[in-house]
Structure 1
Amino acid sequence: MKPLSHFVSLHPYFKVHPGKIEAFKAGFPAFVEKTASEEKNLFYGFTVNGDEVFCREGYTDAEGLLAHLDNIGALLAEALEIADLIRIEV
């Protein structure tokens, strides 16, 4: 297995609005499906802790990350109607 030492990771954290966690989680498959078609994506997944959601994602380079943001822009806009982006790590 080749170690991943050179890649770009993005870790957004969301605080889901009260009573909306199931609706937010229902959107996960659409994000995963869209991301699966991205050539430069290395990994992508969600973790839920109460009303907070963390997405762990990695790309071969910054170009891959920017392409991802373009690809999921509409989905993210929908998600931000029922959640707030509270932190982001790059």
Structure 2
Amino acid sequence: MSQLSKAISIHPYFKINEGRLEDFKKNIADFISRTQTEDKCFYYDFSYCEEENIAYCREAYEGADGILTHLENVNGQIENALTMSDMIRLEIHGPAEELAKLKEPLSELPVSFYEHVDGAKF
């Protein structure tokens, strides 16, 4: 079975507080540095929409355990990000059996879970 068959992507959007963009960018560097140590991370990067002052993190991991390891690893950076922004949306996309493993541990987060559609795998 391919590692990608259990791939889960996370889609957090951060509305950055006025005057805090440079601080947020420094925190992005910390996020990236810590994430580079994770062996279950497939990809990880940030995008920024200047017109809306919103940052988006594009990231994917092998399985629910990859996600939970990542969230533990960058907990300090998440807390720091939330002092200078609001998380306005959080989506997690993946296979139903992997998402089920995340619902309880992430129950306190404002997350929307999206299940992969059967038959859409290549």
Per the shorter chain, which TM-score range?
A: over 0.9
In the TM superposition, residue 89 of structure 1 has moved relative to its aligned partner by: 1.0
SS of 1:67 mapped into structure 2 = helix
Normalised to the residue count of structure 2, the TM-score between the two structures is 0.69
* Structure 2 spans left out of the alignment, 5+ residues: 93-122
Normalised to the residue count of structure 1, the TM-score between the two structures is 0.92
How many pairs are equivalent?
89
Identity over aligned pairs, percent: 38
* C-alpha distance after superposition, 1:3-54 (max 9, x if no partner): 9454000010000001111110111111111001011011000000021000
Q: Which protein has the larger Cα radius of gyration, Structure 1 or Structure 2?
A: 2
1:1-90 alignment to 2 at 5 Å?
Answer: 4-50=4-50, 51-90=53-92
* Structure 1 spans left out of the alignment, 5+ residues: none
1:20 partner letter: R
Superposition misfits of 4+ residues, deviation over 2 angstroms? 2-6
1:74 partner letter: G
Q: Which has the higher contact order (CA 8 A, sep 6+)?
A: 1
